[in-house]
Structure 1
Amino acid sequence: MSPTSVRLSLLDRSRTRAGEPDGAALRHTVERAEQAEALGYHRFWVAEHHAVPGVASGSPPVLMAAVAARTGRIRVGSGGVMLPNHQPLVVAEQFAMLEALFPGRIDLGVGRSLGFTAPVREALRSDGADTFADDLAELRSYLDGRAPVTARPRLDHPPPVFVLATGRGLAVAGDAGLPVVLGGPVLDDSAAGERITDYRSRARAAGAEPYVVVSLDVLVADSVGAAHELAIPEAWALAAARTTGAFPALEPVDVERPVTARQREVVDAAVGRTIAGDETTVSARLDELLAHTGADELLASTSTFDRDALRESDTRLARLWARRP
């Protein structure tokens, strides 16, 4: 895969910010999508999280409709809809409706994650059973018109389905012949290269062309130090979630907070995983990532408290991508 053929996209999780109402996060997601389209990004995806203080988006189809209505070219998708939380027919109907309203622009990314906490899982009526592969097959049958009942509106060209892979999700995606999205622990795994190779073999055996999207935080600033500073709010939220069980709203970098040794460890690791720096540094690290994974697309999932800094980072990332040889 030559660098110039690798696509650049954004995933926005509608992160809440301390001192602001949740609605501000949703409005910012729509505004960020408009900017992403103007900058030439290929896709703009939104997330699904339930009853999480740090994330305002619990319904990707609703937010996607708002984003698609305010944009005209960029593809709009879910990163992703968590199938354990939904009936496949309902998901098929929601995305068929979106595709009918915004033809040729809708992506359906699906995942298998359950609710963040036990009370949320109970509220979602989750029994913990892993039926992802069967649910995925059922969902596709509705979209393709092969099911005993017909999802409406009926489409000649249903939206493409992507699998957000964790654990054995790579194998499920490959056997289904579907594009796969990799991020977080999957990319950190020392066996990631072998798993991606296995995915590609399975996809080709299923008669499909493999397609790999890598997703991770990317922050571009004037210097490595400035970019690392921008990564701290998200890293701190992750540390709080790992140690207290609550994923909080983003806070400013300079907020004073007591930090345990374990939290400092999580923060340092999270900042280290972020591709952060000036344009030269970020470009070099992205080259290494793409060479290692053979990815077809980068889905940057960055967030930080300072919206102006985030806007500037998105602009710089698009600019350096356009200059790639």
Structure 2
Amino acid sequence: MRHTVERAMAAERSRYRRFWVAEHHAVPGIASGSPPVLLAALGARTSTIRIGSGGVMLPHHQPLVVAEQFLMLEALFPGRVDLGLGRSPAFTAPVRRAMRQEEDPPDRFADDLTELRDYLDGTGAVTAHPVSDRTVPMFVLATGQGLAVAARLGLPAVLGGPLLESPDLAAALAGYRRDFRPSPRAQRPVVTIALDITVADTDEQARALVLPEAWAMARSRVTGEFPPLEPVAAIVDRPWTDQTRRRVEATVRHAVAGTPRTVRRRVEELTERTGAGELLVTTSTYDRAALAASDTALARIIGG
């Protein structure tokens, strides 16, 4: 948790625009069960960088509670708070039960987004406090279906994961841009793409740094639990099944990992293909010094 705060402070020094945190529950390898609590810690140790959620999983929460949390953050750190919202369920059945999720819940995402927006804007059925005269920006972490919701409500969309590799990507983006309804939060379609990006001195070193995350993801498919990251050397020495190897290799292959030149080329290709105006970068590896170096190098690539 302290390292997350340190990383946000370093991101501010490197002139990143935002630092977002995710929401995952009962996951040993991810210390991010409560974005608002973590954001309060980040805001207290930074002064200029925007802080936000990437994102709050709205099906887990009442819209009024989310509005109150982020209005409180906005009051504490005025003009610096973003609210990214997703719809993903909990990863395993026991966690879903602990979150009081129904087996086949009705799709309330669009309605909950609308209700939350109204609370933030002071137009809801009740008044969320603290009242603010500033708008808290909202972003939809979108699958294909989420893109349609974002377009209808006039909200920026954040795309990542399998959708970026899908042959349906172009059609999904075209639909979002075609159906977008201007709103006070966005006058035109706004697209951010989420990428796993790792920068190192060589392509081989960068791919090795992706291995801890790739291994943990592959193991989670077997055990149902995403574990803490391990050193590369320890992973290499472990026995691998053919299925695990295929999954690890697929994750490494899809990651944007390499030298500054390699990464710049891949980023330019993806931004040209998607028309994205902003990158949401997720970099995760066991070696914290290498992680810090990757963050610094990426800031130079994007800034340059």
TM-superposition CA deviations, 1:190-245 (whole Å, max 9, x none): 11111111111222466831111101110100000000000000000111112221
Percent identical among aligned pairs is 59
Q: Alpha-carbon deviation of 1:158?
A: 2.5
Match of 1:84 in 2: 59
The equivalent residue for 1:266 is 247
Instruction: Give the one of 267, 291, 297 matched to 1:310.
Output: 291
Residue matched to 1:253: 232
Two-structure CA RMSD over aligned residues (Å): 1.1
Cα distance in 2 for partners of 1:181, 1:311 equals 24
1:71 matches 2:46:
yes
Within 5 Å, give how 1:146-165 maps onto structure 2: 146-165=123-142
Q: Deviations over 1:61-117 (max 9, x none)?
A: 000010011000000000000011000000000000000111100000000011111
Cα deviation, residue 321, structure 1: 1.5
Q: Could you tell me which residue of structure 2 aligns to residue 33 of structure 1? A: 8
Q: For the residues of structure 1 that align with 2:270 and 2:190, how far apart are their CA atoms?
A: 16
Matched, 1:213 2:188: no
- The number of equivalent residue pairs is 298
Equivalent position to 2:258, from 277, 300, 307? 277
Q: Distance in 2 between matches of 1:94 and 1:186?
A: 30
Amino acid at match of 2:10: Q
Give a deviation string over 1:1-26, Cα, whole Å, max 9, x none: xxxxxxxxxxxxxxxxxxxxxxxxx1
For 2:166, the aligned partner's letter is D
CA distance in structure 2 between the aligned counterparts of 1:136 and 1:257, rounded to whole angstroms: 45
Distance 2:76 2:223 in 1: 42
- Name the CA distance, whole Å, in 1 between partners of 2:135 and 2:129: 11
Q: Secondary structure, in 3 states, of the residue corresponding to 1:79? A: strand
Partner of 2:111, secondary structure, is helix
1:319 aligns with 2:296: no
Query: How high is the TM-score relative to the length of structure 1?
Result: 0.90
* 2:233 match: secondary structure: coil
Give the residue type in structure 1 aligned to 2:214.
A
Alpha carbons 1:252, 1:305 under 8 Å: kept? yes
Cα distance in 2 between the residues matched to 1:129 and 1:158: 29
Match of 2:215, as an amino acid? W
Which blocks of at least 5 consecutive residues in structure 2 are unaligned?
Answer: none
Q: Are 2:151 and 1:170 aligned?
A: no
Deviations 1:237-259 (A, max 9, x none): 11111222111110000112221
Runs of 4+ in 1 over 2 A off after TM superposition: 204-208
Deviation at 1:119, TM superposition (A): 0.9
Q: Give the secondary structure class of the aligned counterpart of 2:85.
A: strand
CA contact (8 A) 1:96 1:158 kept: no
State the alpha-carbon separation in 2 of the partners of residues 101 and 203 from structure 1: 32
Distance 1:300 1:233 in 2: 17
What's the CA shift for 1:264?
A: 0.6
Letter in 2 for 1:123: A
Establish whether residue 187 from structure 1 lines up as the match of residue 164 from structure 2.
yes
Q: TM-score, normalised by structure 2?
A: 0.96
**Cα distance in structure 1, aligned partners of 2:63 and 2:233:** 44
Q: Which amino acid aligns with 2:188?
A: E
Unaligned runs of 5+ in 1: 1-25
In structure 2, the CA distance between the partners of 1:92 and 1:188, relative to structure 1 (3 Å rule), is same
CA shift digits 1:148-192 (9 cap, x unpaired): 100000111131000001240011111110011111011111111
How far apart in 2 are the matches of 1:244 and 1:259? 14
Tell me, in whole angstroms, the C-alpha distance in 1 between the residues paired with 2:303 and 2:219: 36
Which stretch of structure 1 is more off in the superposition, 57-66 or 154-163?
A: 154-163
Partner of 1:288: 269
Report 1 or 2 for greater relative contact order, CA contacts < 8 Å, sequence distance ≥ 6: 1
Q: 1:322 and 1:142 mapped to 2: Cα distance?
A: 36
| 1:56 to partner: Cα distance | 1.1
8 Å contact kept, 1:232–1:271: yes
Select the residue among 21, 27, 46 that pairs with 1:46: 21
| Aligned ranges 1:225-240 → 2 under 5 Å | 225-240=204-219
1:118 matches 2:93: yes
Q: 2:86·2:140 contact (CA, 8 Å) conserved in 1?
A: yes
Aligned counterparts of 1:149 and 1:77: Cα–Cα separation in 2 = 24
Local SS of the residue matching 1:40: coil
Which whole-Å CA distance do the structure 2 matches of 1:116 and 1:215 have between them? 20
